[in-house]
Structure 1
Amino acid sequence: MSRDLSRLLRPRSIAVLGSGWAKNVVEQCRKMGFDGPVWPVHPTRDEIGGAPCFRSLADLPAPPDATFIGVNRHATLDVVRELAAMGAGGATCFASGWEEAGEAGLQAGLVASAGDMPILGPNCYGVINYLDGALLWPDQHGGRRVERGVALLSQSSNIVINLTMQARALPVAYVACLGNAAQVGLAELAGALLSDERVTALGMYVEGIDDAPAFAALAEAARAAGKGIVCVKSGKTELSRTAAASHTASLAGGGAASSAFLRACGVAEVNTLTELVETLKIFHVHGPQIGTRLCSLSCSGGEAGLVADLAAPYGIDFPPPSDAQRHRLGEILGPIVAIANPLDYHTFIWGDGPRTTDVFATMLAGYDAGIFIIDPPRPDRCDPSSFEPALQAIVAAGQATGKPAFPVSSLPENFDEALAEGMMAKGVVPLMGLETALGAIRAAQTPAGAPGWRPWTARAEAGEARLLPEGEAKAKLAAAGVAVPKGVSALTLAALEPLVGNIAAPFALKGMGFAHKTEAGAVRLGLSSLTGQAEMPGATGYLAEEMVTGAVGEVLLGLRRDPVYGMTLTLGMGGVTAELLADTVTLVAPVTEAEVEAALRRLRLWPLLDGYRGRRKADVGAIVQAAVRLQGLMAAEPAIREIEINPLMVREEGAVAVDAVIWEETP
């Protein structure tokens, strides 16, 4: 359901219920210069925060556009019901002690009381609108009025309060919290914030995504409007509750699925709040994506080496200048300066504004964006005036080329807020702290998601699941078009012995009933007969298969239903060391063949599949086809919870699923 949140987010009148916290709301609105009426409502007090009180909601001169409800959780239900009946625009519910405190059913009662009226929370701080000076906010904050800026949306009130205290020149238009999100969810509130044309980008601190398809639609709409989204996703170190069941569950658990989902949506993901702020600054000025060809300029060889070293873990490299650039830069800088990227332009031109501008613009013109390492001296102890020509040259180079020009300070404190605000006003984004800057630039390069992409609809697990016998599992794979070894099976070794003559030696003997056969000692390889083979304790049956020869590499393919994102596909280097290597990439379904191949190329050990140092090349197409066919199998059979092939033995031509695990819901 899409509700109209405009009155709640951009109110012309505000009602406030409660006492202590309500007083803060009244005072914050006055301090921020809200030009509409603020109506405290209290049954016994004459004034709150200097504003006269109304005895009840019924005494208000008109239905309020927005209401801050600072009363206890049980009284909140009655207040919400009355506000909805009188046609109020929406409310934020501050009280805690709902589902998170074991009050079953109370939160559902709140939603029922609200009806069609939007509510934020409960257990929610509320909203700050710095554009119009309207606050439903019971605490201090560090923001101020702006004409345009980014929106900050958080599932943690404390974290977003901390973000308002930033001194990095980020203009903030809105701050909003979700609390328990009993009614208005993440995508709905985010969309309402982005719908304000004065909002340039959205930053999010997310603990959980409640509606993945709606979030994907939001991200696509934001890109279409020229607005970037950057996200810090918490909880990435949590292990999946089914981690013990398979390699896939362990490797795709935690943050792998959420990161894959955000990447598919085209949402930039960062790990730290400082990277969040710096990425938002880039989006605010330059829009949702910058190019990947970067140059770096500094007046020190040490800085040039440092930026190159620090950029490598972010996957950022610096392509060399063109011949034309080399020629022109050589003319300006002289024969002593080695023309390269990163460029150490020395200090021969220091203080010469026109020559510095020429160097900066000439270099920047050949790239998508440029990093200009510059640490202005602290103004309280030093004279920073000698740095002004270089700072002006950065601005001029950006304006002349139309390319993002980023002044980057090595240490965050070396670029003070006033100087940063002046640069931002000129369309230049100063980035504070070299490592943070590199992380923000990499995040700002996140490509858009595929048009129309939506994850599969997630569904709750229904009942228990059973591990299919491997023979049955492989029959499903074969029917889906995935190659499997020729094999025979039986309940006992004695029953299996006369059947092994139907397969070619050497063969592998496996005990059934184990999710991890190797760890259970249920795999014996290279056998030519079953003579002398002992029973395997705990085995529910036996499978003998022809051993696969001529393999170039071993790959893991794992698909599992995800309770949030629908289905994930994990690809990686396989075998018994799969989790030890942890060289995997996770995607969120649906995926295309091109996306699967691109994911394989992101593996650290991809060169081993691609003919590293004269090795034979693996049939990558066969891996891709197997992954896509398994995706089709999951789509066709909703009862399947998880499929894992580990390993898929890949030859120069073709690939064979040597080991297969399928978990299926029991009827």
Structure 2
Amino acid sequence: MRPLSRFFSPGAIAVIGGGAWCEAVMCQCRATGFAGPIWPVHPKKAEVGGEPAFADLASLPGVPDAAFIGVNRELTVEMARRLSEMGCGGAVCFAAGFSEAVSELADGDDLQAQLVAAAGEMRVLGPNCYGIVNALDGVALWPDRHGMSPVESGVAVIGQSSNVLINLTMQRRGLPLAAVVAAGNQAQTSMSDLGMALLDDPRITALGLHIEGISDLRAFEALAARASALGKPIAALRVGSSEQAQAAAVSHTASLTGSDAGARALLRRLGIAQVDTPSELVETLKILHVTGGLRSARIASASCSGGEASLMADIGEIAGVTYPGLNDAQSSGLRTALGPKVALANPLDYNTYIWGNEEALTATFTALCEPGADLGLGCVVVDYPRGDRFDAPDYDQVLRAIARTREATGTPMAMVSLLAEGLSETVAQKALAMGIVPLCGMGDALRAIRAAVVERDGRNAHPEPVTLPLNGHGTARVFSEAEAKAMLAGVGVRVPGSARASSAPHAAESAAQIGFPVVLKGEGIAHKTEAGAVALNLATPQEVAEAAAKMPAQSFLVEEMITGTVAELILGVTRDPAHGFVLTLGLGGILTELIRDTASVLVPASREDVHAALGSLRTAALLTGYRGRPAADLEAVVDTVMALQTLVQTHAGALHEIEINPLICRASDAVAADALIRMEE
């Protein structure tokens, strides 16, 4: 494929079409600073957007490096073919009515395939997208307003919604936006392709993604690996956690959104920071732009108000940041700077004794953020007064003191406002110029700090690729519990000793052979407990026969009774076409749906991943020993998970779902007491 760098930074541009959109592209391109030739192409108009028009592509005085195709969908295909044949670097396909519209237009998929074939080696952006704004080189193949200004370096943002991108460019929080790109349908050029090309530009410091669906999982893994190799972090805002959002994404982008649990597990696996709101995305990208990512969520906070200090503590706890206690060096330095009347703590209320004294402010912040504190970020809470009503030279003293603290300690520093409007765009830009992160709004700021943590051993990399569900779309059936357990036992999962029985007397005979006590289950029933199809701790053949006679079942499974339970877990694997196989671990048994204490990872997960997932459960203490209770054999639990993953990988082409519930965790082993497998033959 032709390099995207030529498309992103063209020397000459062609604009095909004569409508208002095309005139807007020409206007925005000039307004953004493009100084090269712009060649409008229209068969009937003498001029478009104030420039002389050419009747066709063959009449152009040269080969364009980039083009905006602003004609109907059928003609878009023909224009892409001709541009490719003449050697154009890339084209924005503005028209809709391709794969995103298959529910309304039966030929949408076919027309998109024709577009890809017509483009050949030429890069195609879209279809159904606005294009690109490159504020580094003054290029705007973009048929609408945008709020970007020239920058020498900054972050790039790629999204699948052009309107969301427009709104992000209008932010007034000081984020230096170097480029925004609308990926559209990703018919040929994916979000991952775009991201890798942008990150290769040394002027791009970090990447933001607005994701409605991941069309190519392997390419997305490659993007994460490339970002890791370049040391440039990625933050992602992904939609699709609600049923309504998933439906909208399918109709809008022709992408698979997949499950929310799968998406979160994928981003976490690849070291991509996930945020939940556009504001958090902007604040996180500011941190990544200035710092390259934080080494930890350990922060120190200083404010001149006890109320602000309390809010930092409360909101920070919810957000997942930590405030380490003061060490001796911090306490000594703060006492020297503040005197005896100020209570020393982190978050710190330094009162107003030193307000207006830049030296004292610097000494206070420097003592709080001294290198021995091992902080990920030092924060100073400050909201500037309204600029339209007040001058605030004393507030600039705080800003300078923060900058001096960063220089003296080497600790990354941020100024945090209580409300988003507490830091104007002018103040935010001034802070960025000093190497300080301006974080607008306390809640967004603290969540962004947690999201921006970069692990010490690198991010955006994982030793193994995700196991992909293969193209198995046949009819799946639910295997009987006995069949499911036989498959699990075949890969090393410990299951109870058992026998199948076709009648109540047969069940009693089987129980005697297994040895009492036993469990009796009616076969062919999904939710056995609710249906009265489970009987526990049966001690005699007569009890077994009587229990079988009461069950709404024609056949039975007789099993040894597993005793000595420490905890019950659920292990489940579901097939997620967008993200791979999602492995969920959590509190099991009949309380699973009520408590909803689970963690999810993707297959294959390492033993370390599994240990971390188990440790993240709210009920993890049940496994490790709680109030004198024995601990479960955690290694046996992890062994079970690893064996389960082996089964998944072996049958990736046919498997739809596996569930072990409960996995009975004991002090010496872990036993799959019940199991379900849904799989194609």
- Whether TM exceeds 0.5 here: the answer is yes
Instruction: Identify the residue that residue 485 of structure 2 maps to in structure 1.
Output: 474
- One-letter code aligned to 2:580: G
Question: Deviation per CA, 1:241-275, whole angstroms, max 9, x where unpaired?
Answer: 9xxxxxxxxxx973111001000000000000000
TM-superposed CA distance for 1:608, in Å, is: 2.0
Number of equivalenced pairs: 655
* Residue in structure 2 matched with residue 417 of structure 1 by the alignment: 425
CA distance in 2, matches of 1:399, 1:665: 62
The 10-residue stretch of structure 1 (314-323 or 485-494) with the greater mean CA deviation from structure 2 = 485-494
Partner of 1:377: 385
2:604 counterpart residue number: 590
Any idea what the Cα deviations from partners look like across 1:326-384, whole Å, max 9, x if unmatched? 12211221111121111111111111111210110111122231111111111222231
Q: 1:539 and 1:420, CA in 2 relative to 1: closer, same or farther beyond 3 A?
A: same
1:383 is paired with a residue of what secondary structure? coil
Q: Could you say which residue in structure 2 is the equivalent of 1:511?
A: 522
Equivalence for 1:353: 358
The whole-number CA distance in structure 2 between the counterparts of 1:475 and 1:239 is 39
CA-CA distance at 1:134 after TM superposition = 1.1
Aligned residue for 2:447, secondary structure, equals helix
**Does the 8 Å CA contact 1:508/1:544 hold for their aligned counterparts?**
yes
Q: TM-score, normalised by structure 2?
A: 0.93
Deviation at 1:497, TM superposition (A): 2.9
Offset at residue 449 of structure 1 (A)? 4.2
Please state whether the residue corresponding to 2:426 is helix, strand or coil.
helix
In the TM superposition, what is the alpha-carbon distance from 1:518 to its structure 2 partner? 2.5
Displacement of 1:99 in angstroms is 2.3
Distance 2:413 2:567 in 1: 44
SS at match of 1:576: helix
Q: 2: distance between equivalents of 1:217 and 1:484?
A: 39
- Pairing partner for 2:616 from 602, 627, 631: 602
Aligned to 2:405: 397
Conserved? CA contact 2:294–2:377, under 8 Å: no
Distance across 2 between alignment mates of 1:278 and 1:239: 27
Asked if 1 retains the 8 angstrom alpha-carbon contact of 2:270 and 2:462, the reply is no
Secondary structure of the structure 1 residue equivalent to 2:64: coil
Superposed counterparts of 1:44-443, under 5 Å? 44-101=44-101, 102=105, 103-104=107-108, 105-238=110-243, 254-365=259-370, 366=373, 367-443=375-451
Question: Residues of 1 paired with 2:81 and 2:398: CA distance?
Answer: 61
Aligned-residue offset at 1:537: 7.3
Report the Cα distance in structure 2 between the residues aligned to 1:163 and 1:30, rounded to whole angstroms. Answer: 21
| Stretch deviating more after TM superposition (272-281 or 530-539) | 530-539
Residues 2 and 89, structure 2, Cα contact 8 Å, conserved in 1: no
Q: 1:150 and 1:240 mapped to 2: Cα distance?
A: 27
Q: 2:39 is matched with which residue?
A: 39
Alpha-carbon contact 2:227-2:233 (below 8 Å) kept: yes
Question: Partners in 1 of 2:568 and 2:245 — Cα distance?
Answer: 25
The alpha carbon displacement at 1:534 in A equals 4.9
Q: Which of 655, 659, 663 does residue 644 from structure 1 map onto?
A: 659
Residue in 2 aligned with 1:7?
Answer: 6
**Percent of residue pairs bearing the same amino acid type:** 48
2:587 is matched with 573
Aligned mates of 1:608, 1:515 — CA distance in 2: 27
Cα separation, 2, equivalents of 1:544 and 1:164: 65
Q: 1:129–1:174: 8 Å Cα contact kept in structure 2?
A: yes
Q: CA deviation at 1:199?
A: 0.8
Deviation at 1:540, TM superposition (A): 6.1
Structure 2 residue 531 is the aligned partner of structure 1 residue 523: no
SS in structure 2 opposite 1:461? Answer: coil
The superposition leaves residues 164-218 of structure 1 with CA deviations (integer Å, 9 ceiling, x where unpaired) of 0000111111110111111111211111111111111111100011112221221
2:253 is matched with which residue?
A: none
Q: Check the 8 A contact 2:326/2:346 in 1, yes or no.
A: yes
* Aligned residue in 2 for 1:624: 638
Query: 2:570, 2:353 → 1: CA distance?
Result: 56
Contact kept in structure 1, 2:178 and 2:204, CA below 8 Å: yes
- Specify every segment of 5 or more residues in structure 2 that has no aligned partner in the other structure, as ranges: 247-256
Conserved 8 A contact 2:294-2:376: no
| Displacement after TM superposition at 1:615 (Å) | 2.1
SS at structure 2 position matched to 1:330: helix
The letter of the residue matching 1:613 is R
Amino acid at match of 2:481: E
Q: TM-score scaled to structure 1, two decimals?
A: 0.95
Work out the CA distance in 1 between the residues paired with 2:291 and 2:461. 21
- Structure 1 residue 504, shift from structure 2 partner: 2.5
Residues 226 and 288 in structure 1, CA contact (< 8 A), matched pair in contact too: no
Letter in 1 for 2:363: D
| Structure 1 residue 3 displacement after superposition | 5.0
CA distance in 2, matches of 1:626, 1:656: 8
SS in 2 for 1:197: coil
Shift of 1:663: 1.4
Displacement of 1:446 in angstroms is: 4.5
Distance, in Å, in 1 between the alignment partners of 2:422 and 2:385 is 7
User: Which residue number in structure 2 is paired with residue 457 of structure 1?
Assistant: 468
